[in-house]
Amino acid sequence: MKNQDKSNEQLIGELKDLRKRIKELKKAVDYKRKIEKNYENLFQQIVDNSPNPIFSIDNKGLINLWNSACRNIFKHKDEIVGQHYNLILHSTNDFSKIVVNPPALLPGDGLASISAPSRAV
pLDDT of residue 58: 87
The answer to whether residue 119 scores a pLDDT higher than 50 is: no
Fold topology of 51-102: Beta-Lactamase (3.30.450)
**pLDDT grade for 7, boundaries at 50, 70 and 90:** confident
Q: What Cα–Cα distance (Å) separates residue 61 from each residue in 22, 51, 108?
A: 43, 24, 31
Closest CA to 69 of 51, 85, 55, 83: 51
pTM over 0.75: no
Task: Find the mean pLDDT for residues 62-81.
Answer: 87
pLDDT of 102: 57
pLDDT digits (tens, 9 = 90+) for 96-107: 555 555 556 565
